[in-house]
Structure 1
């Protein structure tokens, strides 16, 4: 007998069992199978019985759906079981257990599938989906271990790096034998990630592997091995490697030297820092926290500052060398919070105009910008001075001061100091471009503070990152949304939209209608939709349905992945409209939304 149609029934029953029996009544996919089952029933009565059972499920209600679905599942499984074979020939052998053992987590099937797909396929959006999935805690799960290990070899290095740094370490030491199976010390980027991963989960056990790699490993793997050396006895070897021709080998060696608490390492770094010329070769070594090395670093920064002031721009070669050296030293002060660094920054801040003039065409305020950036990180004292001079800054500098205010000040202070830049951009009669540039800088700071650009991948009900975004919005003065709505700063409206703000709702609906009228729809349409749902717009469901229909007609079905994430956050009163929509859409597009509608239906 042909059992293809039964296999389809089995797939649909399995899908409904996962989603919950409450979504089974009226299921349009199951309903489509009744007719072919009845036709097959004319020759084989068992198909007629299956058709009757399917009809009972489709015609059931919430009270009877569970029993009807169970009956159908039992019947279909019994038929398929009798048509197949089980077991295999040969002797059984025990499976070796690795580590303490991992049990599957209670992760929703939809999340498991999307994560596995992101790990094993190519294309845009995978990195953001994986980053978002971490907040829903799908790892460590043995079902995702294989795909995650395979992702180490992916061509998109950012995904491979995320898997190596954040995902696979969650599995712990138990994965060491599995990772070693594919590790090739003469391999490429994937094997370099494997070595770095092994060092994270089992640093002691990886020590011997690192020394093997140093003997005859490939350049990519060897670079990782060098960067992991932390024993003072390795200082002579690292000094030798720091003189290698390959820049990446040198960087790895200096990075290791900077992390070793050794007077010999510090002495060598000091010698290199004091050498004449630029410091690109020892850039990683400048990150050392050894007190002696830090003292020399600060002294050399003062000297380099004065050297650039004294060097004529006409002497192009000397001027460029002096500028490069100073920039490298200022970069090395990143995230230093000690009193000596604070003292240096307070010395340099009043001299910004002079050093900018000395930079000439070569610098374009590079050194001044670095000083401000270091001040924003260093201490309360440096931040207070930085903020106090905000009126003297250009757009990039203004953004640094705004971020420092967010870090140190109150929400009200941030609004009172910086809101004028948004007003000026709309009212300025002269220097309008400059005013707009400053307004864009403040707008970007606000958006970055609340959430990342890929926020439309968030699950609005469960995402920790969405909860973090809510907390960040609550830290912003409510007057920002009033101002943004009044003057049309839609980027700010998107991130600060909140329930009960009528003007915000009007602005968002108007923006959505405007975007849907355009010939092409940019992906930032998702920004508008997220803000509409998040702000609990009274017509959220209707606006989502309108958007789904519009994108479907345009053939831009890829919007469905993001739009589906908004559906579980809607009010349950939207269910009849959404279920009617599923019947209208082509089946391949309806797939995007079925599980989301089921999640809304099952939400308590």
Structure 2
């Protein structure tokens, strides 16, 4: 007898078992299989019995669906698999365990599949998906270990680096034998990541490997080995490596020297800092926190500032060297918050105009921007001075000042100081591009602070992340949203829209409708759909359904991935409309939303 229809039933039962038995009642795909089963039952009674079992699943409710689905699954499996053999011959031997045992986690199959695919395939969006999946905590899971280890050798280095730093360390020492099995000290980027991973999960065990690599390892693997050296006894070797021809080897050596608390290392760094010319070759060493090295760094920055002021632009070679040196030294002050660094920045700030003039056409205000950036990171005192001069800035400088003001955590003051730029940028009488640029700079600073606005394609809905975004949104003065609606600044509207703000809801809906009717497909359409859901628009479900229909009509199936992620955040009252939508969509399109609707249905 033909069992093709039984295979279809098996596939549907498996799908429903993964999604949860509560979504089985009324399932339209199972319903389609009853007729062919009954027809086959005219010749083979077993098919009629399967049809009856399918009908019980469809007619069940949330209370009886689990038992009905289990009965159907048992029956179909008994028919398809009537014979089988398990086990193996031979004696059992204990397996040596390293580290703690790892058991499968209670992770949704859909998440496991998407993460495994992102780790083992090519294409854009994989990095964002893996990043966002970390919030769902799918690791460590033995089912994802193989894909994660394979990702170390991937061509997209950012995915490989993320897996090495944030994913595989969660498995602990238990993965050491698996990592060592494929490790080749003369290998490439994948083996370099393996060595770094070994050092993370088992620093003591990796020591002997590191010293072997230093003798005859490949350049890529050797660079990682050098960067892991932290013993003061390694300082002479690192000094030697800091003179290597390969720039990456030098960077690794200087980076290690900057981390080691050694007078010998600090002395060497000081000598190199005082050399004439630019400092690009030792830029990693400038990050040293050794008190003696820091003091010389600040003194050399003051000297470089004066040298640039004294060097004429007509002497191109000397001027370029002086400029490069000052930029490199200022960059090395990044994230320093000590009093001496604060004192230097307060000295440099009033001299920005003179420094910019000294930079000439060659500099394009690079040094001035560096000074502002370092002030925004240093202390409350430097930030307050930076913010006080906001009216004198161009757009890029204004963006730095806005970021500094956001760190001060005073919402009312931030609005009072910076809202004028949104007003000026949208003023009908203002024709200057500079005013519009400044408005864009403030808009972008706010959107970046809130986060999770762009690239919703790869964001996985989870309560903790949503709460963080909402918390940041609600920290802004409520007057910003009123201002954004008034001037139709849609970037700010969809970043700041709140559940209680009807004008923002109206503006979002109007913008969404406009984009749905546009002739060209709009990439940022998803930003507005996301904002509608986050702001709890009363018609969120209807707007998402309209967007899904629009995507189906246009043939833009790639929207489904983002739209499906929004469905679980809707109110449960939307379920009847969503289920009706699934029945009217073609099967291949409905498949994209079935699990999302099931997740909403099962949400407590």
What is the SS of the residue equivalent to 1:153?
A: coil
Counterparts of 1:37 and 1:185 in 2: how far apart (Å)? 60
Cα deviation for residue 119 of structure 1 reads 1.1
2: distance between equivalents of 1:97 and 1:76?
Answer: 39
Instruction: Name 1:51's counterpart in structure 2.
Output: 51
- Counterpart in the other structure of 2:85: 86
- 1:454 is matched with which residue? 455
Q: Quick one: distance in 2 between partners of 1:464 and 1:122?
A: 29
Counterpart secondary structure, 2:143:
helix
Q: 1:498 to 1:92 in 2, by over 3 A?
A: farther
Unpaired runs of at least 5, structure 1: none
2:509 is equivalent to residue 509 of structure 1:
yes
Number of the residue aligned with 1:556? 556
Deviations 1:408-446 (A, max 9, x none): 141111111101000001116345210000000000000
Give the distance between the partners of 1:172 and 1:420, measured in 2 at CA: 53
Aligned equivalent of 2:208: 208
Confirm or deny: 8 A CA contact 2:26 2:58 kept in the other structure. Answer: yes
SS at match of 1:105: coil
| 1:92-114 Cα deviation digits (max 9, x unpaired) | 54444342211111112222221
Contact 1:458 1:465 in 2 (8 A): no
Deviation string 1:139-191 (CA, Å, 9 cap, x unpaired) is: 11111111111111111111111111111111111111111111111111111
Q: How far apart are the structure 2 equivalents of 1:41 and 1:96?
A: 54
CA distance in 2, matches of 1:179, 1:467: 37
- Correspondence for 1:319: 319
Q: In the alignment, which residue of structure 2 is the partner of 1:17?
A: 17
What does 1:92-107 align with in structure 2 at a 5 Å threshold? 93-94=92-93, 95-107=95-107
Determine if contact 1:186/1:216 at 8 Å carries over to the other structure. yes
- Is contact 1:136-1:463 (8 Å) kept? no
1:493-572 aligned within 5 A: 493-572=493-572
Counterpart in the other structure of 1:108 = 108
Where 2:498 maps in the other structure, the secondary structure is coil
1:39: how far off?
Answer: 3.1
Matching residue of 1:150: 150
Q: Secondary structure at the match of 1:557?
A: coil
**For residues 156 and 407 of structure 1, do their structure 2 counterparts lie closer, same or farther at Cα, with a shift above 3 Å needed?**
same
Per-residue deviation, residues 220-264 of structure 1 (Å, max 9, x unmatched): 111111111111111111111111111101100100111111111
Indicate how the Cα distance of structure 1 residues 339 and 207 shifts in structure 2: closer, same or farther if over 3 A, else same: same
Structure 1 counterpart of 2:394: 394
Distance 1:9 1:218 in 2: 55
What is the distance in 2 between the residues matched to 1:369 and 1:354?
Answer: 13
Q: Deviations over 1:437-463 (max 9, x none)?
A: 000000000000001433454344x24
Distance 2:270 2:69 in 1: 75
Which structure 2 residue ranges, 5 or more long, are not aligned? none
In 2: Cα distance, 1:600 partner to 1:56 partner: 24
Corresponding residue for 1:233? 233
Where 1:469 maps in the other structure, the secondary structure is helix
Displacement of 1:40 in angstroms is 2.7
Shift of 1:315: 0.7
What SS is found at the alignment partner of 1:523? coil
Partner of 1:331: 331
Q: TM-score, normalised by structure 2?
A: 0.97
Offset of 1:4 from its aligned partner?
3.4
Alignment partners' CA distance in 1, 2:91 and 2:587: 44
**Partner residue of 1:219?**
219
- Cα distance in 1 for partners of 2:196, 2:312 equals 46
Asked if the contact 1:428–1:435 (Cα under 8 Å) also holds between the matched residues in 2, the reply is no
Report the Cα distance in structure 1 between the residues aligned to 2:340 and 2:99, rounded to whole angstroms: 48
User: Which whole-Å deviations, capped at 9, do the CAs of 1:63-86 have from their partners, x for residues lacking one?
Assistant: 43223212212211222231x422
Pairing 1:351-370 to 2, within 5 Å after superposition: 351-370=351-370
Deviates more, 1:289-298 or 1:567-576: 567-576
Cα distance in 2 for partners of 1:137, 1:456 equals 19
Q: CA deviation at 1:127?
A: 1.2
Aligned to 1:587: 587
> Structure 2 matches for 1:148-227, cutoff 5 A?
148-227=148-227
Q: Secondary structure at 2:123's aligned position in 1? A: coil
Rounded Cα–Cα distance in structure 2 between residues aligned with 1:429 and 1:272: 56
Secondary structure of 1:33's match?
A: helix
Equivalence for 2:32:
32
Q: Match for residue 439 of structure 1?
A: 439
Aligned pair 1:465/2:465, yes or no? yes
Q: Is the 8 A contact 2:456 2:562 kept in 1?
A: no
Q: Is the 8 A contact 2:133 2:460 kept in 1?
A: no
The aligned counterpart of 1:429 is 429
Q: How many residues align structurally?
A: 602
The alpha-carbon deviation at position 36 of structure 1 amounts to 2.8
Check whether the contact 2:97–2:174 (CA below 8 A) recurs between aligned residues: no
Q: Which moved more, 1:24-33 or 1:384-393?
A: 24-33
Residue 403 of structure 2 aligns with which residue? 403
Distance 1:409 1:567 in 2: 34
* 1:597–1:92 distance in 2 versus 1, CA, 3 Å: farther
1:306 is aligned to 2:325: no
How big is the shift at 1:562?
Answer: 0.7
Q: Distance in 1 between matches of 2:306 and 2:43?
A: 96
Deviation at 1:543, TM superposition (A): 0.7
Separation in 1, partners of 2:253, 2:8: 59
Aligned-residue offset at 1:33: 2.0
User: Is the alpha carbon distance of 1:449 and 1:472 closer, same or farther for their aligned partners in structure 2, counting shifts above 3 Å?
Assistant: same
Counterpart Cα distance in 1 of 2:569 and 2:471? 18
CA distance in structure 2 between the partners assigned to 1:431 and 1:254 by the alignment = 50
Farther-moved stretch of structure 1 (346-355 vs 499-508): 499-508
Give the whole-Å Cα distance in 2 for the aligned partners of 1:384 and 1:580.
57
CA contact 1:402–1:418 (8 Å) conserved in 2: yes
What is the distance in 1 between the residues matched to 2:88 and 2:298? 74
Deviates more, 1:50-59 or 1:211-220: 50-59
Distance in 2 between residues matched to 1:519 and 1:81, nearest whole Å: 53
- SS of 1:488's equivalent in the other structure is coil
Q: Is contact 2:21–2:66 with CA below 8 Å preserved after alignment?
A: yes
d(CA) in 2 for partners of 1:414, 1:265: 44
Between 1:382-391 and 1:1-10, the stretch displaced more is 1-10
Give the aligned partner of residue 280 of structure 1. 280
Distance 2:226 2:418 in 1: 47
Deviation, structure 1 residue 11: 2.3
